Amino acid sequence: MIVLLLRVLLIAVIVFLMYTAFKYLFNPRRKLERAHEQKQFYLLDDRDNVRKNFLVTYKGALFEGEKYLGTTERSFEVISIFIWTKTESKLQGLDISDFKYIEEKLKEHYPHTKVEWKSPVKEFLQKKPH
């Protein structure tokens, strides 16, 4: 009887460990962290939840964005996005084309949106070339 109970307990522990490993491997937050470390582009976003902010990583910089719902001609869509970074030091080496690339990727997900950057990126993009 005790042997049977130990076998059932062992099977339950194995199933729990497999479930935990599966959840860890396919966690979107982990994918974001890996892309951030490898300096690749990755967008972590819950498209079904407009109130939830999204995270973007690109070339080692991590950005956070806030979505705002509004009306288009035919439906309610995300029409405005504000995006910023908390670590300004990670912006080193990024140029205007990098920020335009991020905007293009966001517009792929939200075609009716206007992307607005917060400081200091906003000021950088508004500078006129000499």
Which residue in 63, 10, 9, 13 sits closest to 35, CA to CA? 63
Max intra-chain CA distance, the chain: 85
pTM (two decimals): 0.76
- Is the bond preceding 120 in cis, omega lying within 30 degrees of 0? yes
If one compares 107 and 129, the residue with the highest pLDDT of the two is 107
CA dihedral 20→49→105→61, nearest 10 degrees, is: -60
How do residues 52-88 score in pLDDT, each as one tens digit? Answer: 999 999 998 999 999 998 888 888 888 899 999 988 8
Q: List all residues 6 or more positions away from 2 whose beta carbon is below 8 Å from its beta carbon.
A: none
Which residues, 6 or more positions from 120, have their beta carbon under 8 angstroms from its beta carbon? 88, 91
Over residues 17-47, the pLDDT tens digits come to 999 999 988 888 888 889 999 999 999 998 8
- The C-alpha angle 17, 18, 23, rounded to 5 degrees, equals 100
